[in-house]
Structure 1
Amino acid sequence: MEMMINWFFLILSLGLFAFLLRKPPLKDWLLIYFIRAFNAAILDCFVITYKLIEYPVRFLPHVFKPAILFDFFAYPTLGVLFNQMTYHDKVPMIIVKAFLLSLPITLLEWWFERNTDLINYLNWNIYITYFSLTLSFLFIRGVIAVIRHYSEKENLS
């Protein structure tokens, strides 16, 4: 069952990502995707090394210790979705949307932790997931806002 769930989320992530790339500015979405994938890979290695979380069933278990499906497909795609949802928003609405989008993801992870072998919390809980997801959405949104700001300045000069 776990591998079927993995395949479902892989196909869903790839399909959603392809759909999200149709909306400009493409360079922003690709930048967000790769920044979030890099961020996830580093953080997941930390979380696994310090035995906070483990992933008993995952893609390519002999090659990668992290959950490559989440780190390189689902998590970055959700980052692009969040940035598209908040593209024209002011800071208060961006914060609200970060908290709102983090909630269903956290609840889904919690359900997986309770009912599957996809993830096991060792020294972790849903509150850490919720706030770390929210902060990561806000962090990457802030990074891309700074990049856009300086990019626009360069284009004006």
Structure 2
Amino acid sequence: MSFSVEQIIIFISAVITLLLLVFAVNWRYFRDWIVVFLFKSMLDMIVGSPVVELKLLEYPVRLLPKYYDTSILFELWVFPVLCILYNQVTRERGFWPIIYYALLFSAGITAIEYPLEVYTDLIHYIHWTWLTTFCTLTLTFLASRIFIAFFRWGCNHFGQK
């Protein structure tokens, strides 16, 4: 039984993400991280699916290709876990570090995604660029940070009564 390069990358990505989730996440903030994970997954499916349907990019090799046109591994597993890590790193930081880390995390993901686009069949840009990826990732990291700040405020404000 032989595996393609894409299948090996998918497996390694899933395992590395699981290891990050288990060993890098500070579970004292479990409630926050579940909220971030679910918010990010929902946001990615709401935004990611139309991007694929509008033929801006495509995922030729993906999990469950009969059911999903988008990369559910990235949108429902890898990116939400990375978003948890981003929110963990910025949890006690000010405005500028929040921006800096959003840019840093986005640059890292983009630096991995672009060679995958060039050399594999995991993703193909149609009307998309690495810069579009970088900008949308940055915006979604920041959106998750705004959402968790709002969530914490709401828990503190309404939970005290």
Coarse TM-score class (shorter-chain normalised): over 0.9
Q: Does 1:151 align with 2:159?
A: no
Which residue, 47, 53, 68 being the options, matches 1:49?
53
Which residue, 3, 9, 25 being the options, matches 2:7?
3
Deviations 1:102-151 (A, max 9, x none): 10100110010001000000000011100110010001100110110121
TM-score (norm 1): 0.96
Greater shift, 147-156 or 64-73, is seen at: 147-156
Q: Percent identity?
A: 33
The code of the aligned residue for 1:65 comes to D
Cα contact 1:99–1:134 (8 A) shared by 2: yes
What is the rounded CA distance, in whole Å, between the counterparts of 1:86 and 1:69 in structure 2?
Answer: 24
Change (3 A) 1:21 1:104: closer
Which residue, 13, 28, 31 being the options, matches 2:17?
13
Q: How many correspondences in the alignment? A: 157
Unpaired runs of 5+ residues, structure 2, are: none
Q: Which residue in the other structure is 1:61 paired with? A: 65
TM-score (norm 2): 0.93
Cα contact 1:56–1:120 (8 A) shared by 2: yes
What is the rounded CA distance, in whole Å, between the counterparts of 1:53 and 1:105 in structure 2?
Answer: 16
Unpaired runs of 5+ residues, structure 1, are: none
The code of the aligned residue for 1:107 comes to A
Which residue, 59, 74, 77 being the options, matches 1:73?
77
Q: CA RMSD in A?
A: 1.1
Q: Which runs of 4+ in 1 moved over 3 A?
A: none
